[in-house]
Amino acid sequence: MNRQRAAQLRISPLHIQQGLFAVLALLITLIGGQQFVRWEQSQQPEAPRVSIEHATQTHFSAVSNNPADSAPMRMMDVDQAQPVDEMPRQERWVF
């Protein structure tokens, strides 16, 4: 049955031309949109970049795997302000 439907489906050169034109129009639209976003971003003042140094790791464990850092997790209020030196270190995983 599927072969009969496929045989009845006739794709003319006009259909191919229209499909290729639609693909070309979509491609031009996408490239134009990317260029517009890039142009808009270049018009905005650039924020100062902050470089963050990361320690290189060769194994699959948490960066902060010290016994003191592995204390049980506790809930904290989001609005609770703490000095920077008292903030708990965030655990990062490297894969």
What's the one-letter identity of residue 86?
E
pLDDT for 17 equals 97
The pTM assigned to this predicted structure is: 0.40
pLDDT tens-place string over residues 60-73: 665 555 555 555 66
Distances (CA, A) of 76 to 64, 80, 81, 87, 88: 20, 7, 10, 11, 11
pLDDT for 60 equals 67
pLDDT tens-place string over residues 19-63: 999 999 999 999 999 999 999 999 888 767 777 777 776 666 655
Cβ–Cβ under 8 Å, residues 91 and 57: no
Q: 18-24: list long-range contacts, CB under 8 Å, 24+ apart.
A: none
